[in-house]
């Protein structure tokens, strides 16, 4: 492959992050939020607008985590398909979860509009493409259930008409949802941070939370939070650390499997070629477990991602993944055989043992995480919902109503030793199913 790609996140070359709050940590805040990504910043914005004193504690810099590194696909539904969800949770709860997934996209759109965030948000729709005939056959059932049970319309695209959607001949058909959107995630997270700061939230960068303790009786807060820059008391705490959840919150870390996801971006393509590859500029992903997801950027690059290595990002996994992804991209789009890869990067996604998002309280500490690579809209939404909950809202959050499982037999301490086996398992599953 052309060896000249940068190990760098393309989105960050297009965005400028606001600076966090200067100065020392305050002695106390009403609410301490751990993590300055979509979840934490959306919560901070909501709380600060209600006059709550918020301190966001971020180990790195604003938007450092998955929120600036993702594909920018603002998708309907959840990681699990509707058949699996309804079998597991029943149709009524699934209906509420699905409705929340639609509301989460509306919320992103509303925030972008209200806060005037220049992040190329566009309701361009998404296209799922079928890698096998059996996958395509299952689309008809999904479309029918989603229309009947959730009153939401998707469109089936037979193979004979697929060229109107994608310039690739390898798929057996597709399914389009016009409600999904695309966004520049780095610009969006920067805008969300600016909005939270403008509303009065404080964001402390380079402040790693090391431990959360119950505060002593009669102290300034229910929790004493120990950080790399000193301690802070808070009446409430929200953990918004996603795939980067650490030993600072051991009970949550033991429920999260951190999995690497990787992306390459080509150099900008000529208009005609970009139009040929994605005539309707959809957010695209395929039907495999070990899936590829891809899209055009506003400046006509192909951004092509996948779980090429299961382990979280390092220099080595990024380099190896870039090679795997480039081969995958050329299988999908032989037209890109000579395209140069300008950027390659990775990030960590948070899978729970049931592949579901979870939001609630554990030992009095609030949390929202487990987005399973489907978190641009849902993290924004659950951050806001948890903020409302902290302010006393009784609104139901369906993801709070479901059991939050730990590892089977408790055989897990945050180190995902089983990832190579899981990777092999999904490869076999893609081969046989
Ligand atoms: C490569 C990639 C592609 C993706 N593509 C998509 C997509 O196209 N569509 C989609 O919907 N989703 C996608 N996702 C998932 C989506 O990006 C995430 O679900 C979402 O960004 C999670 O946001 P968050 O705020 O919860 O977590 P993050 O953005 O990961 O933020 C967590 C923050 O917590 C901080 N932190 C961790 N521990 C501590 C500590 N002890 N003290 C202080 N701070 C701490 C970290 O530094 C980090 O900044 C993708 C993810 C990746 C990695």
* Choice from 244, 263, 310 to test ligand 1 binding pocket (greatest atom count within 8 A of CB): 244
Between the CA of 349 and the centroid of ligand 1 the distance, in Å, is 7
Per-residue pLDDT of the chain (433 residues; tens, 9 = 90+): 445 567 899 999 999 999 999 999 999 999 999 999 999 999 999 999 999 999 999 999 999 999 999 999 999 999 999 999 999 999 999 999 999 999 999 999 999 999 999 999 999 999 999 999 999 999 999 999 999 999 999 999 999 999 999 999 999 999 999 999 999 999 999 999 999 999 999 999 999 999 999 877 666 679 999 999 999 999 999 999 999 999 999 999 999 989 999 999 999 999 999 999 999 999 999 999 889 999 999 999 999 999 766 677 788 889 899 999 999 999 999 999 999 999 999 999 999 999 999 999 999 999 999 999 999 999 999 999 999 999 999 998 999 889 998 877 666 677 766 666 666 656 655 665 6
At 415 the pLDDT is 73
Between the CA of 152 and the centroid of ligand 1 the distance, in Å, is 28
Cα separation, 115 vs 384, in Å, equals: 15
> Is the shortest distance between the CB of 383 and ligand 1 below 6 Å?
no
Closest ligand 1 atom, residue 57 Cα: 43
Beta carbons within 8 Å of 316's beta carbon, 6+ residues apart: none
Cα separation, 351 vs 28, in Å, equals: 32
3-state class (DSSP) for residue 34: strand
> Is the shortest distance between the CB of 371 and ligand 1 below 6 Å?
yes
> Is the shortest distance between the CB of 60 and ligand 1 below 6 Å?
yes
Name which of 81, 77, 83 is nearest 97 in CA terms. 77
Q: Taking a C-beta distance cutoff of 8 angstroms, is the pair 205, 35 a contact?
A: no
At 215 the pLDDT is 72
Cα separation, 105 vs 112, in Å, equals: 11
Look up tokens 């505060």; give the residue.
Answer: 215
Helices in 224-304 by DSSP H: which ranges? 250-253, 271-277
Look up tokens 């000579």; give the residue.
Answer: 338
Closest ligand 1 atom, residue 38 Cα: 25
At 433 the pLDDT is 61
Look up tokens 């996801």; give the residue.
Answer: 261
Element holding 29 (H helix, E strand): strand 28-34
Cα separation, 51 vs 390, in Å, equals: 13
**Pairing relationship of beta strands 302-306 and 256-266 according to DSSP bridges:** antiparallel
Between the CA of 136 and the centroid of ligand 1 the distance, in Å, is 31
Residue nearest to atom 10 of ligand 1 (CA): 374
403-410 LR contacts (CB < 8 Å, sep 24+): 403/354, 404/255, 404/352, 404/358, 404/360, 404/362, 405/255, 405/352, 405/353, 405/354, 406/254, 406/255, 406/353, 407/254, 407/255, 407/353, 408/353
Beta carbons within 8 Å of 410's beta carbon, 6+ residues apart: none
Element holding 235 (H helix, E strand): strand 230-239
Cα separation, 36 vs 66, in Å, equals: 10
Q: Taking a C-beta distance cutoff of 8 angstroms, is the pair 40, 187 a contact?
A: no
At 401 the pLDDT is 85
Between the CA of 371 and the centroid of ligand 1 the distance, in Å, is 9
Cα separation, 377 vs 74, in Å, equals: 6
pTM above 0.85, yes or no: yes
At 1 the pLDDT is 46
């Amino acid at each position: 492959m052309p060896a000249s790609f940068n190990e760098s996140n393309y989105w960050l070359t297009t965005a400028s992050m606001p600076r966090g709050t200067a100065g020392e940590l305050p002695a106390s805040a009403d609410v301490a939020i751990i993590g300055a990504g979509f979840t934490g910043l959306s919560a901070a914005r909501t709380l600060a607008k209600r006059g709550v004193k918020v301190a966001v504690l971020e180990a790195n810099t604003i938007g450092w985590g998955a929120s600036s590194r993702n594909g920018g696909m603002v998708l309907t539904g959840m990681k699990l398909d509707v058949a699996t969800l309804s079998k597991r949770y029943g149709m009524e709860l699934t209906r509420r979860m699905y409705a929340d997934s639609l509301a989460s996209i509306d919320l992103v759109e509303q925030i972008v509009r209200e806060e005037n965030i220049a992040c190329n948000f566009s309701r361009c729709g998404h296209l799922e493409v079928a890698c096998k005939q059996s996958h395509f056959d299952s689309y008809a059932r999904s479309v029918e259930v989603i229309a009947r049970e959730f009153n939401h319309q998707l469109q089936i695209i037979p193979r004979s008409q697929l060229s109107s959607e994608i310039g690739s001949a390898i798929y057996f058909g597709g399914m389009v949802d016009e409600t999904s959107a695309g966004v520049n995630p780095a610009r969006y997270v920067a805008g969300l941070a600016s909005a939270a700061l403008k509303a009065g939230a404080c964001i402390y960068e380079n402040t790693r939370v090391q431990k959360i303790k119950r505060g002593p009786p009669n102290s300034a807060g229910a929790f004493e939070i120990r950080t790399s820059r000193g301690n802070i008391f808070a009446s409430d705490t929200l953990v918004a650390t996603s795939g980067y959840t650490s030993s600072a919150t051991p009970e949550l870390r033991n429920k999260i499997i951190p999995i690497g996801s990787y992306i390459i971006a080509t150099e900008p393509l000529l208009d005609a070629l970009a139009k040929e590859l994605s005539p309707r500029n959809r957010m695209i992903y395929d039907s495999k477990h070990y899936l590829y997801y891809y899209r055009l950027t506003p400046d006509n690059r192909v951004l092509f991602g996948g779980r090429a290595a299961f382990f979280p990002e390092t220099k080595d996994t990024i380099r190896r993944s870039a090679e795997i992804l480039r081969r995958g991209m050329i299988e999908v789009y032989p037209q890109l055989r000579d395209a140069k890869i300008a950027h390659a990067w990775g990030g960590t996604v948070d899978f729970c043992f049931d592949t579901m998002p979870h939001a609630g309280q554990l030992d009095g500490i609030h949390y929202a995480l487990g987005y399973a690579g489907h978190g641009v809209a849902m993290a924004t939404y659950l951050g806001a919902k948890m903020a409302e909950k902290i302010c006393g809202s009784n609104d139901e959050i369906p993801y709070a109503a479901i059991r939050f499982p730990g590892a089977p037999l408790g055989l897990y301490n945050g180190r995902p030793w089983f990832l190579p086996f899981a990777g092999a398992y999904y490869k076999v599953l893609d081969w046989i199913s």
